[in-house]
Amino acid sequence: MNSSIDDDKAEDLVVIDLHGKSSIADFFVIASGRSDRHVGAIAEHLLRRVKKIGLGRCRVEGLNKRDWVLIDLGDIIVHLFRPEVRKFYNLEKMWSIEMAEPERATH
């Protein structure tokens, strides 16, 4: 998958291991495209490759707008951004911070 994204000249590719942080997926793959057209092209190429290798159905959000395209492959969620949108949401910071355990109330 990373090679497919790299082949499309995506920028700033990051993989975040979510084991122990979330049950929604095992990994986030985050990358940027230079423009909305580039983000869309990366997403469409990745979707064709996923279909070709038979990874099954995936869910896609944001393909029409192409500011932030999310491709949910089950254990892996791919986020493709325009650079300014990526900077605004800053998923790398949000998901790399260790979450503190909530304190238990004692009575």
| CA-based R_g, the chain, Å | 15
Give me 71's structure tokens: 């491709």
Question: Which residue from 10, 28, 22 is spatially nearest to 81, judged by alpha carbons?
Answer: 10
- Render pLDDT for 41-68 as a digit per residue (tens, 0 to 9): 999 999 999 999 887 789 999 999 999 9
Helix (H, G, I), strand (E, B) or coil at 15: strand
- Render pLDDT for 28-38 as a digit per residue (tens, 0 to 9): 999 999 999 99
Domains of the chain, each with CATH number or no CATH? 2-96 (3.30.460.10)
